[in-house]
Amino acid sequence: MASISFNNSVIFLFSLLCFISIIPKLYANIADFDPYLEKRAEEALQSSLAAYNENPEAVTQIFNKEVGETILNGTRRHLKEEDKEDKNEKVEKDDKEGDEKSVDICKAYNPIDKCWRCDKNWANNRKALADCARGFGHGTTGGKDGKFYVVTDPSDNNVEEPVPGTLRHAVIQEEPLWIIFEKSMIIKLKQELMINNDKTIDGRGISVHVAYGAGLTLQFVHNVIVHNIRVHHILSKDGGMIRDSVKHIGLRTVSDGDAISLFGANRIWIDHCTLTKGADGLVDAIMASTAITISNCKFNHHNDVMLLGANDAFPQDKIMQVTVAFNRFGKGCIQRMPRCRWGFFHVVNNDYAKWEMYAIGGTANPTIISQGNRFKAADNPNTKEVTNRNGAPEALWRNWQWRSEGDLFKNGAFFRESGPEIKSTPFTEHTTIQFEPAKFVGRLTRKAGVIQCKIGKAC
């Protein structure tokens, strides 16, 4: 798809050679980096290197081809995008913070949703969701190979020895689990929720809030799906002894207050979540995390929305590959949607409305491919630019590959491109929307955020 400014094989070898130097730095609120965690860190890095795709362009080509085919296979009557601004605003008003009204006719427009949402028997076939991840997070199956675990107790009173039936007890188990909930609940976490490998948190059918306490942490783990939950009003917590698996309990320092934190994690899929108001980031992926898809989510009322890459002095994040697709960045979002470092980022068919500083930013030579997004700037004349290089001089960033293809710009919004041009598009002759795919963004993101699924009806 694009001409990339770095050699992937060199990056892979560089990451391997840097392995020993990485381990002492991977602390992530760990007060005691004991032998168990050292082993987990080593295993996580090797897993991330295995998940790294040396040809990221191929992944974006496959993803965009599926989007195009999904759109073209729909009816023209349903897919006709309404151009009048007042009609677009009406759509946004009708979508109540993730509590969409159920409809008898399923209208799933993007390839992820089309994979599962139109099945009226979804409640009896929940694990079909595991086959629906697209983009760099493809192949993430979560707890598909395990049993169902039903959370019956919303409490979180013992973080050292979690009580059976609680979410904390479910996520620390060693075996794969598909975690569902007996009833609607608000879970107020006393400390970070340390999630183990091969888990799916599936909130469909009821209303699950993780709120007014700590957030979710995926550290040195792989193969996790977080689906259809609300995470909001997340606080920084003091830390202490927290169990992160049946086999291990460790001492942790003060948490950052991220809604969802990925640290040395891979094969992660976050889908149809509604996130707002955290003490730090809503989704942060750092320290050689990779093979990630963040899709169909709704983000509101937050400053530092999404951080992808630890810092400019951590080149190991060159293996980071993230797809950000079909999300709505709405009311009260200020910046970092996302902010990127080092890796390869495919930002596709998202809806951006009135950011207060900038939409997409980054430093340290990330590759950012923006395709088919709708950018509507706020009225402030100083915030019209979509992109932000965080103060880097043009002599440095002019070679970073930040490309815009098929994006739609409203109210004066503009994208400042840099680096090599995209020399060939990923679309085939049958997916001829490649020049104006952003006109479909309203439909593609219509169900972003938590969906109010009802048993016996398509979601």
Task: Specify the CATH superfamily of domain 8-444.
Answer: Single-stranded right-handed beta-helix, Pectin lyase-like (2.160.20.10)
Active site residues: 336
Burial class (CB in 10 A: 0-12, 13-18, 19+), 292: buried
* Structural domain boundaries in the chain: 8-444
**pLDDT of 39:** 78
Q: Which sign, positive or negative, has the C-alpha torsion 356, 383, 328, 195?
A: negative
Q: Which sign, positive or negative, has the C-alpha torsion 12, 15, 17, 23?
A: negative
Rounded distance, CA 73 to CA 61, Å? 18
Q: What is the pTM of this model?
A: 0.84
**pLDDT of 301:** 92
**pLDDT of 429:** 34
**pLDDT of 105:** 65
Q: For the residues 113-125, what does the mean pLDDT come to?
A: 95
pLDDT in tens, 78-104: 444 444 443 444 444 444 433 444 444
pLDDT in tens, 288-337: 999 999 999 999 999 999 999 988 999 999 999 999 999 999 989 999 99
**pLDDT of 122:** 96
**pLDDT of 62:** 62
